[in-house]
């Protein structure tokens, strides 16, 4: 525990990240059990990309959520980086489909996470210098 009061939004973000990580792991397992789920994507390359990336991203998300719950300095760094990568991965997914409301929502959540992590009281909780 960091010894500083935990900002309210951190628990919400940690929970969202945890849910996303579980969903990524679920995607990996379902695709592993039934490869025909790749046909959900109109582009096979994007489908395979999502399959291969879902396991490490899912595990990584659970580690980030833990870091958020505990107020670890590395949790802030990994959360910031993963939100940025989440936006990039979502943009890649948009290449395969028309504007998908789920993907747009993911982009918005990741953008908000980056914004929220840069607030001074949140950086203080994670023992990050306020620049």
User: Tens digit of pLDDT for each residue in 4-55?
Assistant: 788 999 999 999 899 989 998 988 888 878 777 666 666 666 677 777 888 9
Who contacts 32 (Cβ-Cβ below 8 Å, separation ≥6)?
Answer: none
Helix (H) or strand (E) holding 23: helix 8-33
Question: Residue 128 pLDDT more than 50?
Answer: yes
pLDDT at residue 2 tops 60: no
User: Which residues, other chains included, contact 61 with Cβ-Cβ below 8 Å and sequence gap of 6+?
Assistant: 17, 18, 20, 21, 24, 82
Confidence (pLDDT) at 102:
84
- In angstroms, the CA 6 to CA 61 distance is 20
At 1, the pLDDT band (50, 70, 90 cuts) reads very low
Identify which of 80, 79, 59 has the alpha carbon closest to the alpha carbon of residue 69. Answer: 79
Q: Are 28 and 69 in contact (CB under 8 A)?
A: no
Whole-prediction pTM: 0.79
Rounded CA separation 61/36 (Å):
26
Q: Is there a contact between 14 and 69 (Cβ–Cβ < 8 Å)?
A: yes
pLDDT tens per residue, range 44-99: 666 777 778 889 989 999 999 999 999 999 999 999 998 998 899 888 878 876 77
Q: Which two structure tokens, joined as six digits, stand for 35?
A: 């490869």
Residue 93 neighbours by CB under 8 Å, 6+ apart: 46, 50, 100, 103
How deeply is 102 buried, as exposed, middle or buried, from its count of CB atoms within 10 A (0-12, 13-18, 19+)?
Answer: exposed
């Amino acid at each position: 525990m960091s010894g500083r009061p935990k900002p309210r939004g951190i628990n919400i973000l940690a929970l969202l990240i945890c849910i996303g990580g579980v969903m990524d792991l679920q995607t990996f397992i379902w695709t592993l059990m039934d490869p025909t789920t790749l046909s959900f994507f109109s582009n096979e390359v994007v489908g395979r990309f999502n399959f291969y990336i879902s396991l490490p991203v899912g595990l990584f998300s659970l580690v980030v959520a833990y870091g958020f719950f505990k107020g670890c300095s590395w949790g802030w760094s990994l959360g910031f980086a993963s939100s940025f990568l989440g936006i990039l991965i979502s943009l890649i997914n948009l290449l395969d489909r028309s504007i998908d409301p789920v993907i747009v929502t993911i982009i918005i959540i990741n953008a908000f996470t980056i914004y929220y992590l840069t607030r001074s009281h949140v950086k203080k909780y994670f023992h990050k210098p306020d620049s």
